[in-house]
Chains A and B, each alone.
Chain A
């Protein structure tokens, strides 16, 4: 018996399943009139504090909810629930990122058409989340002033695949001698034209600009459904 080698061309994206599912989710979000925002950052960049403040402020006017990815604990979900909006934890175990299938499963018992905004907090990680489309309208990448100005150069992929960069913990900028112009220049180096915002969840500086940006982005993406809810 002999063997016969041959080459078979297949040309398939490795993450095809995820991409297809993300596309379906995106359509579902659009049909339901919910604007979806995902957040990626390093651990400890102030993602949860930022999200808590955002949910709290936004919920006065809009119907909002959040999905929170975390390796083990539900601490973040508990913190966010203080904002009195629906929050669901996605425990990923050892997985370092969220995938579209996890989002789909988590949404099973939620009425999407009852929401105006859905936030998806990814696992604290600047590498892996960049590969997975979750069907979101916009992807935010957060960078805190304590992490240093060169973070965008170290993790160009997540910055290049995100839509908005948010610099957090600005209240600490002076204490850590954060060079804001350098940080902004580094972001523009890896993603020219990227929308950039600076804020402090602690003292609230910059939150108004962020919320204005967000509501305008929703209006732009779904003009027909952007009605006022109270």
Chain B
């Protein structure tokens, strides 16, 4: 269970960005998550709520985009999306997939910010 420390890193990253943006409130964090990141989505989501408490992210939403594992099949010579992380074989030719191109993602893609607009 290292999802809490991951969540704290995400919050820290968002806080820094918010500061650069003049202290805007962060209402959502968009995250890309691959199955090989070693991070469990549900555990991260609950840890995120905790990590946001008392920060500028209080109440923020974590929008997780789960991306599949993509490997390179040397036999077919093309990229293949793998349906399972328990079977690193090409879904077409059943050849072994040794090169994993994507699927380890643990990336903050975007933040939703809410800026106070000073009335004229």
CB of B86, distance to nearest CB on chain A (Å): 5
A190 within 8 A of B: yes
Q: Is the interface of B mostly helix, strand, loop or mixed?
A: mixed
- Contact between A190 and B10 (Cβ–Cβ < 8 Å)? no
With contacts A95-B2, A128-B2, A157-B36 taken as known, whether A6 is within 8 angstroms of B86 at the C-beta atoms is no
- Contact between A5 and B27 (Cβ–Cβ < 8 Å)? yes
Number of B residues whose C-beta is below 8 Å from A?
41
B68 within 8 A of A: no
A3 to B31, CA, bound (A): 24
A188 to B96, CA, bound (A): 9
Chain B residues with CB under 8 Å of A17's CB are 9
- Contact between A8 and B115 (Cβ–Cβ < 8 Å)? no
A9 to B31, CA, bound (A): 11
A47 within 8 A of B: no
Residue among B13, B107, B117 making CB contact with A3, cutoff 8 Å: B117
A192 within 8 A of B: yes
CB of B15, distance to nearest CB on chain A (Å): 12
Chain A residues with CB under 8 Å of B35's CB are 157
B83 within 8 A of A: no
- Contact between A12 and B21 (Cβ–Cβ < 8 Å)? no
Question: Which of B38, B88, B116 gathers the greatest number of chain A CB atoms within 10 Å?
Answer: B38
A4 within 8 A of B: yes
Contact string, A183-197, partner B, CB cutoff 8 A, digits 1/0? 000001111110000
B55 within 8 A of A: no
Contact string, B107-118, partner A, CB cutoff 8 A, digits 1/0? 111111111111
Between A and B, 15 residue pairs with Cβ closer than 8 Å are A1-B117, A2-B117, A8-B21, A8-B113, A10-B109, A12-B107, A15-B6, A156-B36, A156-B86, A157-B37, A188-B96, A189-B86, A189-B87, A192-B96, A193-B98
Name B's A-contacting residues (CB within 8 A): 1-2, 5-6, 9-10, 13, 17, 21, 25, 27, 31, 35-39, 85-89, 96-98, 100, 104, 106-119
Name A's B-contacting residues (CB within 8 A): 1-15, 17, 95-97, 127-128, 130-131, 153, 156-158, 160-161, 188-193
